[in-house]
Each structure stands twice: as structure tokens, then as C-alpha cells.
Amino acid sequence: MSKPTETKCVPQSLSFSGSGFLSVYQMGAVNALWDLAPELLHSAPKVYGASGGSIVAAAVVLRLNIGKGFSKTIVEAAKDASKSVLGPLLSKFNLVTILQNALQHILPDNAHEEATGRLYVGVTRLSDGKNIMISDYKSKEEVIQALICSCFVPIYCGLVPPSFRGVRYIDGGLSGFQPRYGKTSMITVSPFSGEIDICPRDSPLCHLCLHVCNTSFQLTAGNLSRISYALFPPPIWVMLEIEWKLEMFHWAWGRRFTEE
């Protein structure tokens, strides 16, 4: 009797969508995966990210402490933005400066060595609107600049777009909201409900999805609220509720593994 052939699990890449201030959802998902399925993160050959999702992708590749670093930065930025009705549109609120300072402090000096060939940052080339994936870095500063380019929403973040190696780029989510390359098998993570592997689950009765910028959005009231929250941060209690829901996801998934 012949032995059954063993099937090897092929490592899957990861893709983090644009998310803005709701990147706290993706950060919570990553924290849960580090505890429950760290092999998924360790073995991912490529980690893609666009806009706010690029920050989360960088945290995965560089194995950074999300809770003490990026998550705290996002929450503090949300607090500052919420001090006025106009929030992020006020001239004294500079999201780019906040991100630059945080990245300079949090990223290790050898970030470019760890990120090259594995961290794929989605950006939109200003000259023609084409989606570009940056994956080669010569220094820590280039990693930071690529992330800043990916997160730069015109007017919202300023009038003059940042550049990478002399070429100006803007928010990667504008041309590829859920970044991917070719037919690579991957796990997708987004704070918006839709045809995504890890995302909020809205009403199962709603089957209407809008396909745009390389992703799908479920047409629900919850998603409409999330879209506004991504640019204009929700009250802090809402952000804490997002974290609480992920803790419940963490608990439920862990219980399932235990029962198996």
C-alpha cells in the first residue's frame, strides 16, 4: 500500500490595503497573528502595503513592536487631529512630519537591508498616475521616504508631493488600494469590509460590492463610516472599540485552535 503524498504548504505573501487612521485595525490583526500564527508572518516571501497599510507592512517585515510604536503614533495623531472641526486640514497639523519623526525613531538603522526584496511599498507616480511598487532601498532614509510617498494624500497632506530618487509620488492607494503583483498567492488585510481575507464583517445579506482601485468595497453603512474615519479620525473611543473587537477576534481564533 503506497503512502499518501504529503502536500507542502506554500508560504503566502501579505497585502495591507490603504487604511489611513484605520490602520489601527490592521495593526491589531498583525498583533493577533504574531501570537496565534507567527509562521504566517515569518514565512511571507513578500509583504505589500499601500498608504497607511505600507506602515503596517514595514512593521511586519522589520518585526517591530506595533503597540509601543506605530499604534501609539496613530492614536496620538488622531487625538491632535480631533482637537478641531477641520482636524487634519489645519495648517498646524502636519501628518507627514509626525510620520517622519516616528519612522526615524522607530525604524532600525539596517531597515533598508531587511526591507529590500521583501517590503513592497505601493505608490502612485505623479506624472502619469501609474502604480509603482518600490522594493529596493539603499538606506534607512529611502525606506522612510518610500513610506512617506505612499501615505501622501494631495492637499490633505500638503501641496508639494514628496519624491523618491528624484521622482515625485503620491498616495499608493489612489492607483492600487489593495496592492498585489501578478498572481502571487496572498493573504489580504483591510479595515473595510469586502472580498478580503481579514476585514470587518458587515451584514451577510448585502451582496453589493464596488470594485475599484484593485479591491472591492461592500456597499454598507459601516463601510461609508469607515471611509470617512480613514481621513478624519473617529473619536478615541471608536478607535478603542476597533481594538476591542480585534481582541475578541484574537480570543475566538485562539479558542478554535485549542479545540482542534
- Hey, what's the cell of 2? 503506497
pLDDT of res. 36: 85
Residue 187 neighbours by CB distance under 10 Å: 18
pLDDT of res. 228: 84
For the cut 70, the answer to whether the pLDDT of residue 222 exceeds it is: yes
* pLDDT above 90 coverage of the chain, percent: 46
Residue 94: pLDDT band with limits 50, 70, 90: confident
| Residue positions counted in the chain | 260
Exactly one of 13, 51, 71, 175 is catalytic; name it. 51
Chain segment 133-189, per-residue pLDDT in tens: 999 999 999 999 999 999 999 988 888 999 999 999 999 999 999 998 777 789 999
pLDDT of res. 246: 55
For the cut 80, the answer to whether the pLDDT of residue 85 exceeds it is: no
Residue 99: pLDDT band with limits 50, 70, 90: very high
Q: Which of 196, 197, 217 is closest to 208 using CA atoms?
A: 217
* The model's pTM: 0.85
Q: Which residues contact 153 (CB under 8 A, 6 or more apart)?
A: 51, 170, 171, 231
The Cα–Cα gap between 248 and 182 comes to 34
- Residue 82 annotated among the catalytic residues of the structure: no
From 63-67, 160-164, 202-206, 229-233, the region with the lowest mean pLDDT: 202-206
Chain segment 14-23, per-residue pLDDT in tens: 999 999 989 9
Q: Which of 233, 205, 244 is closest to 52 using CA atoms?
A: 233
Domain ranges of the chain: 13-253
Chain segment 116-130, per-residue pLDDT in tens: 999 999 999 999 999
* pLDDT above 70 coverage of the chain, percent: 79
For the cut 60, the answer to whether the pLDDT of residue 247 exceeds it is: no
pLDDT of res. 46: 96
Full DSSP string of the chain: -PPPPPPPPPP-EEEE---GGGHHHHHHHHHHHHHH-HHHHHH-S-EEEETHHHHHHHHHHTT--TTTTHHHHHHHHHHHHTTSSSGGGSTT--HHHHHHHHHHHHS-TTHHHHHTTTEEEEEEETTT--EEEE---SSHHHHHHHHHHHH--TTTS-SS--EETTEEEEEGGGT-SS---TT--EEEE-SS-SS-SBS----TT---EEEETTEEEE--HHHHHHHHHHHSPPPHHHHHHHHHHHHHHHHHHHHHHHH-
Question: Crossing angle of helices 236-259/70-81, nearest 10°?
Answer: 150
Exactly one of 171, 175, 193, 216 is catalytic; name it. 171
- Residue 51 annotated among the catalytic residues of the structure: yes
